[in-house]
Amino acid sequence: MRDKVLHTLKKNKGRWVSGEDICKQLAISRTMVWKHIGSLKEQGYQIETQRRLGYRLLKSPDILYPQEIYAGLNTKLMGSKIIHLERVDSTNEVAKGLARQGAEEGTVVIAEEQNCGKGRLGRHWYSAAGKDIVFSVLLKPKISLSETPQVSMLAAVAVARAMEAVCDTKVGIKWPNDLLINNKKFCGILVEIGAEIDCVRHVVLGIGINVNSLADNWPREIRGHTSSLRAEVGEKLSRVKVLQAVLKELDHLYSVWKEEGFAAILKLWRTWCISQHCNARVETLQGSYTGRIEGVNNTGELLLRMSDGSIRAFSSGDVSLRL
Ligand code: BTN
């Protein structure tokens, strides 16, 4: 019911709505209206109250509350359920737990703060509480183990397209799924799976986007190659709008992937890719390799020409470009 009160205020944003009108529209008592308004104020909504005029919403907080994300989202699958948590170790871990309990596809787990954010190759992912976005989406595509990297490439394209929609800045994708602005990383993607021999039961797609954090929020050792949307665009952005844009793009591209296959995604991915035809070092859990990037094959593997002229294909790893 509190969400309905909020919806009524939002419809009339900046204009007065009388307590009586809210009571009539929602068939609730004045006391209940007053209680819900109080709870919304506690959540950070700026609502003005005047005895004769009623209530008017002045400002919504930039907190990733489900009711804020849902407003105008219109996705088919992404956000079928949204869980918002204050603090977690890792949203991926929470989402994996929910998957084991049979949560539905499209469930999104968002946290304001992540204590033990996980990055690729066993690294840590840093995010500033209340400033950045960390979330995980539970997916259940019918794919084999070898096809899982496709999900992370799809997600990278979704973030790149979303950034084009919300802020006017040039984004690039570094294989397989790092998102960069001016050669600095502002978004990372970690895909984890629950699987049986060669059948994927579920995929947890974890995305971290540095939105409003600035250099003093980042550990010294990553400052040189890290950035945020705010640092690059020069102004604070609405986290709600950024997340909505990413969920919309994910929703769209996930359908394209299911209907048309990976080729359609890879075509888009290539248009954003900045790691083509340049010298690079590829770090994997097995070792480090240097060579020249020849491109990406049809399954999304990185092709590196080694010093002896041979070509080596990588399905995972971290690329440092030698520009
Ligand atoms: C990378 O190393 O580039 C991947 C970073 C992925 C970070 C996100 S934040 C949300 C989700 N939860 C995690 O613990 N990690 C992912």
pLDDT in tens, 4-55: 899 898 888 888 999 898 998 888 988 999 999 999 998 889 999 998 899 9
- Token duo for residue 230: 């705010």
What is the distance in A from the centroid of ligand 1 to the CA of 239?
17
Total count of residues recorded for the chain: 323
The CB of 118 under 6 Å from ligand 1? The reply is: yes
pLDDT in tens, 116-170: 999 998 999 999 999 999 999 999 999 999 999 999 999 999 999 999 999 988 8
- 176 in contact with ligand 1, CB cutoff 6 A: no
Domain with CATH 2.30.30.100 in the chain: 279-322
| CATH class of the 66-272 domain in this structure | alpha beta
pLDDT band at 184 (very low <50, low <70, confident <90, very high): very high
Which residues of the chain does CATH 3.30.930.10 include? 66-272
Among 83, 88, 92, 94, residue to substitute to test ligand 1 (most atoms within 8 Å of Cβ): 92
CATH classification of 2-59, choosing from 1.10.10.10, 3.30.70.100, 3.40.50.1580, 3.60.110.10?
A: 1.10.10.10
Whose CA is closest to atom 16 on ligand 1? 206
For every residue of 305-321, DSSP letters joined together read E-TTS-EEEESS-EEEE
pLDDT band with cut points at 50, 70 and 90 for residue 105: very high
Comparing 197 with 94, the larger pLDDT belongs to: 94
Q: Which fold has domain 279-322?
A: SH3 type barrels. (2.30.30)
Pocket lining: 117 vs ligand 1, CB cutoff 6 Å: yes
Q: What is the pTM of this model?
A: 0.92
Q: Where in the chain is the domain with CATH 1.10.10.10?
A: 2-59
Q: Are 163 and 220 in contact (CB under 8 A)?
A: no
Mean pLDDT confidence for 263-288: 94
Strand 107-114 and strand 81-88: the pairing is parallel
> What is the predicted pLDDT for the residue at 19?
86
Q: How many angstroms does the Cα of residue 184 sit away from the middle of ligand 1? A: 16
- Ligand 1 lined by 226 (C-beta under 6 Å): no
CB atoms within 10 A of CB 135: 26
Whether 323 has a pLDDT exceeding 70, the answer reads: no
Are residues 283 and 318 in contact, defined by beta-carbon separation less than 8 angstroms? yes
Atom of ligand 1 nearest to the CA of 116: 14
